[in-house]
């Protein structure tokens, strides 16, 4: 594997935009370790995977480490724009999560699903919360749901991270 991996960091107030570039493997570890020092005071990290041409399990482990760090620091992490091979690796890892109960792989890789689905899930949660606020009821019939929606709004602890961040790029006119 080539050692030409790098992460470009752009910071806009409490938001950091990461653009990893190259092959994400074992050699990427120091780049991800460096991020922990520069993400102090950040509320949101957006990671554009569009320039990652290859990712192996060691690289996925680096990304999961960033996700774990973000979670412990209360940072919302959005990982998006996956290319074909890294997305396929995530699919294969997620299949291990569906292993039969008792199998040594069952449930082991659930974190990879969070990397791939976090943006879509947060957009859905943000739309649900916005619909509830628009109705002024906080939900339908006191159930905590929007009328016609099977999705409950996110827990109160998650709501501040949604304000101004979720769904703005997918708004319908």
10-residue mean pLDDT series, the chain (173 residues):
82 96 94 91 94 95 91 91 92 74 56 58 60 59 43 43 40 41
pTM of the predicted model over 0.75: no
pLDDT value of position 133: 64
Strands 15-24 and 6-12: antiparallel
Domains with residue ranges and CATH for the chain: 6-170 (3.30.750.24)
């Amino acid at each position: 594997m080539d050692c030409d991996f790098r992460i470009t960091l752009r910071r806009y107030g409490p938001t950091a935009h990461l653009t990893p570039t190259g092959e994400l493997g074992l050699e990427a570890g120091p780049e991800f370790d460096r991020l922990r020092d520069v993400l102090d005071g950040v509320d949101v990290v957006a990671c554009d995977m569009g320039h990652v041409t290859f990712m192996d399990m060691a690289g996925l482990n680096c990304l999961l480490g960033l996700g774990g760090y973000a979670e412990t620091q209360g940072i919302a992490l959005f990982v998006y724009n996956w290319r074909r091979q890294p997305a396929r690796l995530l699919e294969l890892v997620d299949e291990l999560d569906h292993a039969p109960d008792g199998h040594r792989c069952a449930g082991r890789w659930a974190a990879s699903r969070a990397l791939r689905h976090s943006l879509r899930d947060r957009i859905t949660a943000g739309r649900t919360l916005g619909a509830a606020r628009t109705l002024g009821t906080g939900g339908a019939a006191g159930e905590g749901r929007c009328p016609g929606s099977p999705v409950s709004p996110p827990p109160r602890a998650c709501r501040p991270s949604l304000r101004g961040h979720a769904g703005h790029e997918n708004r319908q006119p």
